[in-house]
Amino acid sequence: MARLSAKLAAIPGLRPVGESSLAGLIGMILGALLLLLYKFNPLLAYESLFAGGFGSLYGWAESLANATPLILTALTFAVGLRGGLFNIGAEGQVYVGALAAVATGLLPVPAALRLIVTLVLALAAGALWGLVPALLKMTRGVHEVISTIMLNWIAYFFAFYLIAHTLSSPLNGSRTIRIPPAARFGVILPGTDLNYGILVSILLALLFYFLLWRTTVGFELRAVGYNPRAAHYAGMDEHSIGHWAFLLGGVSAGLAGAVQLMGRPPSYAILSGIPQLLNLGFDGIGVAMIGRNHPLGILLAAVFFGGLEAGGRTMELVAGVPLEMVRVVEGLILIALAVPELGRFLTYLRHLNPLELLSRQRRRAD
């Protein structure tokens, strides 16, 4: 028995998976109590929730389709946190990436190159938007939480302006022009939303894994995030490392906006009120927390998160639970799942001396 435990302990990733399963179970029990309290059948509710997300090929396809943009926005937050930054700017960078993807439709590009040019311009737009908080932080000492929140709002209203004016469809004022067919990702499984855009997400997650754990820049980035002072004394340039974290995050979030528009049927355009982009960036923070801010963990967490979203619809349809209650139950499960990583994150924050942080920032500002 002891040998079995030793063997189990030796399997990498088992401990976090076990921890998360326990946390998830606790969340589910709390959710079940709440459902009981409001006189819904928790067994039927959970059965429809998980059957809807993972019980059939259709369910899996929907879950993966939901996961596609979340993987990318979670990477944005994770790469920031690994570098010691609390970058919550993915939301705005998603909008900017999506706008760039739509705007590319106005450019004369040969059909064969459309897809790749659209992706490149979108990631460039996201990266540029991500660089603004980087420059503000490195040159003026503006904290990234403040600057990214403000930039999210600027991007939000900028998007509203462009949708209503510059990019507005001449046929239908309630949406932008559509992404041209040559720049769209095809649907993998007909009759579902799953499209080849998911390959972009998976590739980028693998690329981030390689970058963070197999390159010098990645090593330095993690070192700065883990202990900025030690990294500084070891001769690392925390400024340029910080730029990298913002830049990579912007690339990822910009792609999230583009992939959502280029792949997800049926509109292939931004609707007024940007309902299909709203909250992708913030949901990514949750996914990153559940996925332990690790690219591979994020892949799993995003599929789980996407599955809850897909299953939530079946819960409405089959178990008759209203959407508000579905969201509360899902929220309980997700918060429970994020608790282990949140705990670690808070411990990490406590270890950093706040006064030290302040003086560091002041030095930067000078």
Partner 1 sequence: MLQSKIKLLAVLGLILAVGFMVLPGGVTAAAQTKGQVAMVLDVGGRGDLSFNDMGFKGLEEAAQELGVKTVVLQSASAADYLPNIRNAARSGKNELIIAIGFLLADAVNQVAQEFPKQKFAIIDSVVDQPNVRSIVFRENESSALVGALAAMVAAQDGFKKVGVVLGIPIPVLFHFEAGYRFGIDWGNKKYAQVTGTNPNVGLLWTYTGTFSDIAKGKASTEAQLKLGAGLVYNVAGPLGIGDLEAISEAIQQAGHQAGPPFMIGVDSDQDWMGGGNKVLASAMKRVDNATFDVIKSVVQGNFQPGTASQGLDNGGVAFSRYANLLNFINFGINANAIKEGDRGTIIKNWLEMRQQIPYWIWDAVSELEVKIMTGKVTVPTANTPDEIQAIRKQFPLGG
Residues that bind partner 1 (CB under 8 A): 2, 4-6, 8-9, 14-15, 17-22, 24-25, 47-48, 50-52, 54-56, 58-59, 62, 65-66, 157, 160, 164-165, 168, 170, 172-174, 191, 193, 264-267, 271-273, 275-276, 278-279, 309-310, 312-314, 316-318, 320, 322-323, 326-327
Give dist(CA 133, CA 78) in Å, integer: 16
Q: Give the nearest distance from C-beta 96 to partner 1 in angstroms.
A: 17
Identify which of residues 212 and 255 has a Cβ nearer to partner 1 in the complex. Answer: 255
In this structure, the dihedral spanned by the alpha carbons of residues 358, 359, 361 and 366, taken in order and rounded to 10 degrees, is 140
Cα–Cα distances (Å) from 178 to 41, 95, 266, 269, 355, in that order, read 43, 16, 10, 5, 51
Identify which of residues 201 and 236 has a Cβ nearer to partner 1 in the complex. Answer: 201
Give dist(CA 98, CA 129) in Å, integer: 12
Inter-residue contact 202 to 285 (CB < 8 Å): no
Give me the numbers of helices (H) and strands (E) for the chain, helices first please. 15, 0
Identify which of residues 35 and 136 has a Cβ nearer to partner 1 in the complex. Answer: 35
Identify which of residues 152 and 243 has a Cβ nearer to partner 1 in the complex. Answer: 152
Q: Give the nearest distance from C-beta 211 to partner 1 in angstroms.
A: 29
- The closest of 297, 299, 305, 251 to 279, measured between CA atoms, is 305
Q: Give the nearest distance from C-beta 35 to partner 1 in angstroms.
A: 17
Give dist(CA 70, CA 86) in Å, integer: 17
- The closest of 184, 202, 59 to 115, measured between CA atoms, is 184
Identify which of residues 60 and 129 has a Cβ nearer to partner 1 in the complex. Answer: 60
Identify which of residues 153 and 210 has a Cβ nearer to partner 1 in the complex. Answer: 153
181 preceded by cis ω (within 30°)?
no
Q: Give the nearest distance from C-beta 362 to partner 1 in angstroms.
A: 36
Query: 355: exposed, middle or buried (C-beta count within 10 Å: 0-12, 13-18, 19+)?
Result: exposed
Q: Give the nearest distance from C-beta 18 to partner 1 in angstroms.
A: 3
Q: Give the nearest distance from C-beta 163 to partner 1 in angstroms.
A: 8
Identify which of residues 224 and 270 has a Cβ nearer to partner 1 in the complex. Answer: 270
Q: Give the nearest distance from C-beta 22 to partner 1 in angstroms.
A: 5
